[in-house]
Amino acid sequence: MKRSLLFCLLFLAAAVPAAAGTYRVEEIPHVQRADRRRYVSNPDGILSPEAVARIDAVCASLRERGLAQVAVVAVDDIAGGDTFSFAVELFGRWGVGGAESDNGLGILLVKDLREIRFVTGGGVEGVLPDALCKRIQLRYMLPAFREGNYDAGMVAGVEAAAQLLEGGDPDLGEEEGLSLGAILLIVAGFVFLPLAAGLAVHYLSRRCPRCRRFALQCDSQRVLGTTPSYREVEYTYVCRHCGAVVTRRSRQSRGNGFGGGSGGGMIIGGGGFGGSGFGGQYQPQPQKGRDMNVTLNVSFDEAFNGCVKKVSVRNPQGGVETLDVKVPAGAVDGGRVRFRGKGAAGANGGPAGDLLVTTKISEHPLYSRHGADVLMTVPITVSEAALGAKIVIPAPDGTKIRVSVPAGSQDGTELKISGKGAPNVKGSGSGALRITFHVEIPKHMTEQQEQAMIDFQAACEHAGQNVREHLGV
């Protein structure tokens, strides 16, 4: 009994198909890299081996005769839900269509989104314009797709496109001739009336809610989400008159049946989607890896005198590497040291990026930096400011120097001592030590100090000195 149950479970597990994946562009299998005779990427098994073989044969024939390079992709679902952008990027990466002839045709089927996309190069657009691509879809593909027969629909669609490329005239289901009255009625009902309604809606949508002028202009749009039945889009408008920004959302129907609203072909000009031909000739271009940034904290003294510090980073091979970073004497805040080839790994055989180590100098209680100059504030007494004095201060290089305070120095008086700043990291010599004097007024004085200040004030009044004379008082 247990063995029978186990057998049944295994049988059911084998019968259940693998869960459909949601593919990004780079995850779609590029079948031509493995076999140049293959033109159909079918990772989810939507198409049978027989259908794939038939499509491969048709595509190979078109290529051998130089008529077109065709790539067909059938998947359950894609990331983002935008089949057009996905198809353009996918077939562009693959290089569908020769660089000289630009004769590429890409066909994308997304089963879960119920959409089929044709993307053509400029070299075949004259044979397969958008209108004919749409009619191929409507005539040969969509009826079969709606019934779940993807083999019949895809084979018929590819063969119809091939017939047009070969100069044939497939049955695209054109309507019988209509009378002039019927034609005029159709034009009035399906062209002019919707056009008038659309123009009215468009005109009213341009009215700014702030200034009430018809000055809104669409600035951008983005797809918020997609379902098999609709696509939700957010539009951003900017008023040309008052600058108001307005956002509006709308749902765009994707139709009730398979492929509703998907459109047909689209011209993508320039060198076969930017590639050099679908197949073995196409090689992805090497791309340099991105640069990586690391901040290195150094003290004021380390930056002033120079030092060697270690930094550990993850190398392109995935391991951890310890590097010696030489901080030059006179290094400034925000300075960079570049290690070439120590950044992120490159793509398609491209070189690794660089590692950029940026120095961040910590604050010092006495000094600050302005390039190679060192700034310092030195307190002095009232009497030193008035009478002048010789004082000793510590220099940033560790020595002590004697400086002269000029008599009559005011609060904020500056003194510059050349050669006592930081080494010039981009030149020779050193910067200057720039001293700013700050006159310290005592908050608490002894009786002797108070009497001295009273005597000083009296002497100033006797001499007729008035520091506020310029104020007119």
Q: Give yes or no for residue 286 having a pLDDT over 70.
A: yes
Q: Superfamily assignment of 367-441 in CATH?
A: Urease metallochaperone UreE, N-terminal domain (2.60.260.20)
Cα-based distances in Å from 98 to 121, 278, 378: 9, 7, 75
pLDDT 10s digits, 129-155:
888 888 899 989 999 999 999 999 999
Question: Where are the extended beta strands (E) located within 318-472?
Answer: 320-327, 336-339, 355-361, 367-370, 373-380, 389-394, 400-405, 414-417, 433-439
- Where does the pLDDT of residue 251 fall: very low under 50, low under 70, confident under 90, or very high at 90 and above? low
Give the residue extent of every domain in the chain: 15-165, 292-361, 367-441
Amino acid, res. 157: G
Which CATH number describes the domain made up of 292-361?
2.60.260.20
Other Cβ atoms within 10 Å of 278 Cβ, number? 29
Fold observed for domain 15-165: Diaminopimelate Epimerase; Chain A, domain 1 (3.10.310)
Q: Give yes or no for residue 14 having a pLDDT over 50.
A: no
pLDDT 10s digits, 413-431:
999 999 999 999 888 899 9
Question: Where are the extended beta strands (E) located within 5-61?
Answer: 22-23, 40-41
pTM for the model stands at 0.42
Q: Give yes or no for residue 169 having a pLDDT over 50.
A: yes
Tell me if 292-361 shares its fold with 367-441: yes
Per the prediction, the chain carries an average pLDDT of 79
Residues 214 and 98: beta-carbon distance below 8 Å? no
pLDDT 10s digits, 336-371:
889 898 888 887 778 888 889 999 999 999 999 999
Task: Tell me what pLDDT residue 255 has.
Answer: 43
Task: Tell me what pLDDT residue 301 has.
Answer: 94
N-to-C CA span, the chain: 115
pLDDT 10s digits, 389-405:
999 999 999 999 999 99
> Please, how many CA atoms are within 13 Å of residue 438, restricted to the half-sphere of its CB?
6
Q: What's the rounded Cα separation, in Å, for the pair 409 and 387?
A: 8
Average pLDDT over residues 297-322: 86
> Please, how many CA atoms are within 13 Å of residue 231, restricted to the half-sphere of its CB?
20
Task: Tell me what pLDDT residue 71 has.
Answer: 94
Give the pair of three-digit tokens for residue 299: 């003290």
Cα-based distances in Å from 182 to 41, 52, 194, 195, 461: 45, 44, 17, 19, 112
Task: Tell me what pLDDT residue 313 has.
Answer: 80
Average pLDDT over residues 237-253: 69
